Amino acid sequence: MLSQEAAAGCTCSYPVRCSLAMMRKPNRAQPWTVYVTPGELNPVKHFAVNLGASADMKDDEGTVWFGYPNPKTNPRFHHHYPNYGVKFDLNDRTLPGMGYFRHDFKGVSIADTDKPWLFTSGCQGMLRCEVPLIDDATGQKAALYRVRLGFNALPGDQKGQRVFDIKLQNKVVEESFDILETAGKANRAVVKEFKGVRAENVLVLELLPKSANPQMNQAPIINFIEVIREDAGPAPIVRQ
């Protein structure tokens, strides 16, 4: 809708008329944001990674879940903070033709979780990644961590179809893991937790498919990685 300006022939002494234009704004799929933090990122006390997510999100407990791959930030629109955001590299390796995915969590029902947005994105075909925790080059000491991994079987999955081993620090911690077998149905959150995992620098996570040449419906799927230091007291809450 356009309305003429006061200068367009109006004799009223009050400039109350103006130009007004209205256009449809696309609906944002997710209430995501990008968090920034000053200072060093190591040693890690609490690190939460939402694989495949559009960007970062803070949960109701105050934990910031960082989207990965790192959200792209355009310096064209942020001149004072070019390429802002928390940057990290998992050195991830995936099966050919596979990788990260995301879906809108709104309207999606994921059982056994109050954070459905953690289970509607992820990585399909991940074979290995490295989570940076400690900078041993600067003299930081090794530490023990609790590792939580989130999984959600895809609709259409069958029991015995998507089976893989989980390795942490070159040790098998879960053998022949079947997400659907564990969950009982698709769209039900599964969280596997492993305590006392020692890290001297990075946490090496490997997902090893049982199939020799896994296809899309046989490849490992993982939704999130959360790492909490066990010998550092309660995990800090990131405030913004």
Residue 40: inside a domain:
no
Residue 19: inside a domain:
no
Residue 25: inside a domain:
no
Residue 56, number of CB atoms within 10 A of its CB? 23
User: What gap in Å lies between CA 147 and CA 113, rounded to an integer?
Assistant: 18
Are 55 and 35 in contact by the 8 Å Cβ rule? The answer is no
Token pair recorded at residue 236:
């800090």
Residue 28: inside a domain:
no
Sign of CA dihedral 89, 230, 209, 49: negative
pLDDT at 17: 59
Residue 10: inside a domain:
no
pLDDT at 77: 53
Looking up tokens 């939460």 gives 48
User: What's the domain range around 137?
Assistant: 46-229
Residue 119, number of CB atoms within 10 A of its CB? 26
Look up the pTM and report it: 0.80
**DSSP-assigned states of every residue in 43-101:** S-SEEEEEET-SSBEE-TTSPEEEEESPPP--TTT-TTSTT-S-------EE-TT--EE
User: What gap in Å lies between CA 115 and CA 105, rounded to an integer?
Assistant: 9
Bridging pattern class, strands 46-51 and 64-68: parallel
Looking up tokens 């939402």 gives 50
Q: How many structural domains comprise the chain?
A: 1
Name the DSSP class of 178: E
Residue 202: inside a domain:
yes
Residue 237: inside a domain:
no
pLDDT per residue rounded down to tens, the chain (240 residues): 455 555 556 666 555 556 677 777 665 545 677 877 666 778 999 999 999 998 899 998 999 999 999 877 665 554 445 567 888 999 999 999 999 999 888 878 899 999 999 999 999 999 999 999 998 888 899 999 999 999 999 989 999 999 999 999 999 999 999 999 999 999 999 999 999 999 999 999 999 999 989 999 999 999 999 999 997 544 444 333
pLDDT at 233: 47
Percent of the chain as helix, strand, coil, to the nearest 5: 5, 35, 60
Nearest-5° angle of CA 215, CA 179, CA 205?
75
CATH number at residue 158: 2.60.120.430
Residue 235: inside a domain:
no
